[in-house]
Amino acid sequence: MDKEFKNYPDIAPVMGAYSRATKVGSTFYMAGCTAGDSTAPLADQVRMTLEKIEGVLEAEGRSMADIVKMTTFVTDVKEWTASSDANNATFKEFFKGQYPPNTMIGCAALALPSMKVEIEAIAVF
């Protein structure tokens, strides 16, 4: 099966020697997206991250409804819990009732000290 390695430097640039996404057949695997070097609060970084994911999907002619699985990494589970109302409102806005499975993992750190959240996604189209 053919693999297409894809990058979107104007939407969600990568920080190293990897691709933003790989399309294999009808499955689209997206590397974790972040809010970059933003120092915004976690809830704002969640929104910025989902906007990047949405932008990549739109560049493919697709939408957030095509996501079938996500993994969310956060550096501070307590901060995630404290902002859960805002985070959930943002997820509701982007997914409009079609919520993909989403595993949330607490981690010690992400690529930059300012990063509070990273979300990877798998879509099928």
Angle at 88 between CA 105 and CA 103, to 5 degrees: 25
pLDDT per residue over 36-60, tens digit each? 999 999 999 999 999 999 999 999 9
For the chain, list the domains and their CATH numbers. 3-124 (3.30.1330.40)
Judged against a pLDDT cut of 90, whether residue 1 lies above it is answered with: no
Tokens matching residue 16: 């190293």
- pTM for this entry: 0.96
